[in-house]
Structure formats: structure tokens, C-alpha cells
Amino acid sequence: MTPEQPAPVPGAPLEPSATERSSGAALRGPAVAGTGRTLGLITAGVVLAVAAVIIVVGVIAATQDNARIDRMKARGVPVSITVADCIGNLGGSGSNGAGYTCRGDYAVAGTTYHEVIGGTSAFTDPGTALAGVADPAQPSTVIVAHAVATSETSSTAYVILGLLSLVWLALVGLWIRALRRPTVPAPARAPSGSPQER
């Protein structure tokens, strides 16, 4: 025991040495850094998985829309729709009108349907008869005849989804690289009063 060091008080807890404090900091530092990196990678993986589901659902929806247009133009069932009612729609601000949603009655193969009339957003007096086309695969879907005649399949949705897919693939590549990158331990800070600071 050197003259500079005070004598230990009997019964008092002993303070850890500078070496012990340094070792403890070294053990705690990398663990915290590794945990944060793991949580970040898990979060990124979940976001990428959700984005993949959205892209797949978008492709399916675009394919079904185009298939329905082709099907209704080629094999649609002509029907006479009797307008039952029209309800006004509100815009995003809630103060502006955004057209009308009309429902009507029509019959396909002896079955009467009461459904939303697609292809029109203008107010139509109840009781008005409209020429419509019902989807042969799903008779509960009906669109006014002139809207079916002027509709065309579109590839715009596929272009947008294709660009999103490329971005998604690039992000997945970065995520995989981050997974393979080894964790670099953070340098331990020397405790105050250690020989390294003198």
C-alpha cells in the first residue's frame, strides 16, 4: 500500500479497480450495440415482408381488373338495371361533393340482384332504366353498358408495380448484406481516473 492510497475502512465495500471497471464496460458496450443492430435488422425485415405482400396483392388486383374487363366485353350478360336510389359522396375535406353512388335492381338467370351500379357517378332518378352488363363469373358485379364498351385493359399498374419491385429487390440486397456483415464491437471507454487518462 503506497502513501497516496488511503487505508481501507473495515466493513466498507471495496471499489472495483480500474481494470475491472474497464472490463465491465467492454462487456456491456458491444452487447448493447449488438442488440440495437439485431432489432434494426428485424424491423427492416418485417417492413420488407409487408412491402412484398402489398406488391403481390397489387399484381393480383391489376390482373383481376384486366381479366374482368376482357370477360365483360367478350361474354358479359346484358341486363336492364332499374335505379333504386342514389346517395351523394363527400370529398376528402367532407365539404365538397364527389359524385353519387347508385344502386339498382336487375336479374340474371332468374335471380334478382340489388347492387351498386358501376361506371356512373352522376345522379339518376330512381326508377330510371339503364342498359348494363353483368359479369358472367360474378353476376353481383354490374356496370353500365357504355362504360364497358369504352373500357380498356391497362398496363400502367404493372409498370408502377414493376418499378416498386425493383426498388424492393435493391433494398432486400442491402438487407442481406447487412445480415452477413459481422458485428464490430464498440471500443470500450476508459473509466475516469484510469491510467490511460493520465
pLDDT in tens, 86-124: 998 877 665 666 789 999 999 999 999 999 999 888 899
Give a yes or no: residue 96 inside a domain. yes
pLDDT value, residue 176: 92
For the chain, what is the domain count? Answer: 1
Report, as an integer, the average pLDDT of 43-50: 94
Domain that holds residue 120: 76-150
pLDDT value, residue 26: 47
Give a yes or no: residue 60 inside a domain. no
Give a yes or no: residue 104 inside a domain. yes
pTM of the model: 0.60
Give a yes or no: residue 25 inside a domain. no
Q: Which residue has the higher pLDDT, 153 or 49?
A: 49
Give a yes or no: residue 128 inside a domain. yes
Contacts 24+ apart (CB under 8 A), 156-164: 157/58, 157/61, 157/62, 157/65, 158/59, 158/62, 161/55, 161/58, 161/59, 161/62, 164/51, 164/55, 164/58
Give a yes or no: residue 184 inside a domain. no
Give a yes or no: residue 122 inside a domain. yes
pLDDT value, residue 153: 86
Give a yes or no: residue 136 inside a domain. yes
